[in-house]
Amino acid sequence: MNVRELMLVAPVIPVLVIDDVAKAKPLAEALVAGGLRVLEVTLRTPQALDAMRAMSDVEGAIVGVGTALDGDDLKRAQDQGATFAVSPGFTPELGRAANSINMPLLPGIMTPADIMRARDEGFTELKFFPAAQAGGPSLLKGFAGPFVDTVFCPTGGINANNAKDYLSLDPVLCVGGSWVAPKAMVDAADWAGITKLAAACESLRS
């Protein structure tokens, strides 16, 4: 899948911080059962790469790497089964590294200049980050005018209560969020509860 296709799979891409590899596979199974198949595993813990490998074995799961900062991050994640990447920002070097290994990349942006730099390198599917802190839905509305062919996945400060505010905007194809896999529920192995949270996301597009 290319990035735009990935963004259309479900309204929410779970942003996952995994510190126990044993919980990676059941977490992926719970999210997929609730309809969230595109999973972003952030490189914020030493266990992240092993978690990607475990989650890649789950039928229906589309596993990607988050918090990717350079080409080495992309390659290490790809070797562990990641099929796409998400970054907090964008550099031409990162974009070229992703293209060189055929890794679909959803790069982060926060300003009009960021968007223009990404577009110069051929990227028109972008992560708006940190969304709440940067200006939220109102700033995205401003972006829609000059950047008519650019679409966004806002991430950062998004939850079940405000996700609709973003998803109601035409340029927003999906949002990223961690509320569908709260740490307390993961620690408690409450997989049924996580599946319920994931399933509730389908109503966010209505």
Question: What is the 8-class DSSP label of residue 13?
Answer: E
- 12, 36, 27, 35: which is closest to 191 by C-alpha? 27
Average pLDDT score over residue span 6-16: 98
Average pLDDT score over residue span 187-205: 97
Active site residue 164: no
Cα–Cα dist 16/199, whole Å: 17
Average pLDDT score over residue span 87-99: 98
- Residue 205, pLDDT above cutoff 90: no
Catalytic residue among 23, 29, 125, 127: 127
Question: What is the pLDDT, as a whole number, of residue 112?
Answer: 97
Active site residue 141: no
Q: What is the pLDDT of residues 154-163, one digit of tens each?
A: 999 999 999 9
Catalytic residue among 40, 141, 196, 202: 40
Angstrom CA distances, 5 to 9, 125, 131, stand at 7, 10, 22
For the chain, list the domains and their CATH numbers: 3-205 (3.20.20.70)
Q: What is the pLDDT of residues 37-48, one digit of tens each?
A: 999 999 999 999
Q: What is the pLDDT of residues 49-80, one digit of tens each?
A: 999 999 999 999 999 999 999 999 999 999 99
Q: Decide: helix, strand or coil at residue 129.
A: coil
Cα–Cα dist 197/109, whole Å: 28
